[in-house]
Copies of this chain bind each other. A is one copy, B any other.
């Protein structure tokens, strides 16, 4: 727009309100009043400020827009329909099974980079996108629209802090301060000064809008985007249900739709000043070269020796640096544990592609998701137990069908003296339950490296569980580790039991096999490096030869981990699974002492096998 037509923007906002009300009334559910409060901001952004190709939402230099308050989805859908991406007549399909216009946005829609609706998560993703823009030398901006209720979420402040630290002036947050939450008013109502102080303290430039329904005010503050070296937040004073006399600023309307009569009355109020956006020119993005973002044809070879002693966490660091050298898409993130996870091996070689997220794991997962949404292959690492802090972000990444690689070190009682607060004993359960996720658990350096190659090559969420203790190299450098496979490491005719293990317990199982062999008892030992998808064909075939008797051994609680995976996938085939796992609250001690104390060492395996043989 050469000269902004504020009346037109106001009119488009009302058209968006009408669409939002019509669609939610048709659906019989949804959040029309949450759409109304943000309608003027969205109309101003889409039709008076942002630069994007509305026919091609994925264009690499389009400004990005994240609707963190995802329950205002009908407003977002209306904006894209008005921008010409799809017919406005589709909007009434909202929330029906046949339509991708779901209750909250997901990337089934071309214009939703990530799923939103689980509150407090948009800003972290925005930080990742803003960092990706900088890395790719693109000049698009990332706009994140938040509700005032959701900024009670700590994840928002983790993101705000990191954006301030890295001076992301290509990131713009807009807070739709409509003062009403779901069940009561927000804590701060229309006291915009509270929000101003908080964002300023977190390193942001702050603009407040006394009238968040005035496109002129909105466009004026937006004109200051990028003017200094700080991220910008705009706190817009708005009213829930704005524009409709019997909705505006009233409690009791959250997540409530209008009945047919109410909808008619609302539309009658809005219609006179509503204007279509059809034909309105949207500013085009600047032409910039697209980032390459291509996968490498091959990786540099490995040079491990059988029997070398290397912790899988250390092999992870080595692998990440090796893979990163030939794959510019690879970026890494860590939460101030990089010297323990060994992500520092990558950091030292490729500092520009490394993001220190400090001790803020929800945000680390969000930032990584943002990188992934921009074509990068993000590896985020910390102690595995601390990934539990970001579990909702991981859950939503599943819904986003995100390209996200998580690596958790220091798992199980085998970490030893630090004690239970630092031991991941539920991470397999947590990660297996993520839709579409791949869960890998290597036992030696070679499998760690080979599995990491596949994580980088395969789009989607994957999780690698690495261990603290050093373990011997079991495999030759050319061994292949297909996802969904498993390795039979010991097998003889007459074996009594199949023992399935991974990580430190695999080495205990091998030791147990030696001890049992000396007593004339044979066992089959399987390396279940692929927990999800499970290498079930291999396990099934081996188990059949041992009378369907299987023992699983895991440095994890008994619920949701390896044992449940094997039983859950194979009990229907008649396989009988006896689980060895950590069944009590653990405590500090030496790793070997703890493996023994909690019944997952070689001696425990021997005892269990003898009881079954």
Interface set of A (CB-CB < 8 Å, partner B): 27-30, 70, 95-97, 99-100, 102-104, 106, 108, 115-120, 149-150, 152-158, 161, 165, 181-184, 186-187, 194, 197-198, 200-202, 334, 336-340, 344, 356, 358-360, 362-363, 385-386, 388-389, 391-392, 395-396, 398-399, 401, 416-422, 425-426, 429-430, 432-436, 532, 557-561, 563-565, 567-568, 570-579, 584-585, 587-590, 593-594, 597
B430 near A433 with CB under 8 A, answer yes
- B418 in contact with A187 (CB, 8 Å): no
Which interface residue of A149, A435, A593 has the most chain B CB atoms within 10 A? A435
Please, which residues of chain B bring their CB within 8 A of the CB of A593? 97
Most chain B C-beta atoms within 10 Å of own C-beta, residue among A194, A198, A396: A198
Contact B568 A564, beta carbon cutoff 8 Å? yes
Q: Report whether A106 and B420 are in contact in the complex, using a CB–CB cutoff of 8 Å.
A: yes
A527 to chain B, nearest CB (A): 21
Give CA–CA (A563, B559) in the complex, Å. Answer: 11
B392 touches A429 (CB 8 A): no
Interface centre among A155, A560, A589 (most CB of B within 10 A): A560
Q: A106-B420, A399-B421 are in contact. List 16 more A-B contacts (CB 8 A).
A: A30-B417, A102-B420, A106-B419, A120-B359, A154-B157, A154-B363, A155-B389, A161-B187, A183-B340, A184-B336, A398-B585, A559-B565, A567-B567, A571-B576, A571-B577, A572-B576
Q: List 9 A-B contacts (CB under 8 A).
A: A115-B421, A117-B418, A117-B419, A154-B155, A183-B334, A398-B585, A426-B433, A571-B571, A571-B575
Contact A421:B118 (CB < 8 A) given known A161-B187, A165-B187: yes
Q: Which residue of B385, B398, B425, B435 contacts A118 across the interface (Cβ within 8 Å)?
A: B385
Q: How far is the CA of A570 from the CA of B564 in the complex (A)?
A: 10
- Residues from chain B with Cβ under 8 Å of A152 in the complex: 158, 161, 336, 358-360
Given the known interface contacts A418-B29, A433-B557, the answer about A336 and B392 at a Cβ–Cβ threshold of 8 Å is: no
A115 pairs with B430, CB closer than 8 A: no
Once bound together, how far apart are the Cα atoms of A559 and B104, in whole Å? 25
Residues of B within 8 A of A594 (CB): 97
Q: Chain B contacts of A558 at CB under 8 A? A: 568
Residue in B201, B560, B573 whose CB lies within 8 Å of A201:
B201
